[in-house]
Amino acid sequence: MDKKEKQQLDKKSDGDLLKDVQKQRDELWALRRDLAAGKVKNVREIKRHKKSIAHILTLLSWRQKNKHLQES
């Protein structure tokens, strides 16, 4: 995930980010299934999807913490 993609994620709403996480998880599941079947040629894609999911979930967590702090 490069800097440009991270900036685009910062601009998305929480709902859109949750949709992105679900999409990434579905793609990761498909990649793992294809890996088991011997169809995947680029194994690094699995790592990229996992990191992308982690980044989006971290961003959502930060947003929730900031909202909670602002309400207090």
- How far, in Å, are 30, 32, 50 from residue 39 at the CA level? 11, 10, 19
The pLDDT-based confidence of 1 (bands split at 50, 70, 90) is confident
Smallest Cα–Cα separation from 45: which of 58, 54, 32? 32
d(CA 62, CA 71): 14
Average pLDDT over residues 23-43: 96
Is the pTM of the predicted complex or chain greater than 0.75? Answer: yes
Smallest Cα–Cα separation from 46: which of 59, 29, 63, 67? 29
Average pLDDT over residues 1-11: 89
Question: Is the predicted pLDDT of residue 72 greater than 90, yes or no?
Answer: no
Question: Is the predicted pLDDT of residue 2 greater than 90, yes or no?
Answer: no
Question: Is the predicted pLDDT of residue 16 greater than 90, yes or no?
Answer: yes
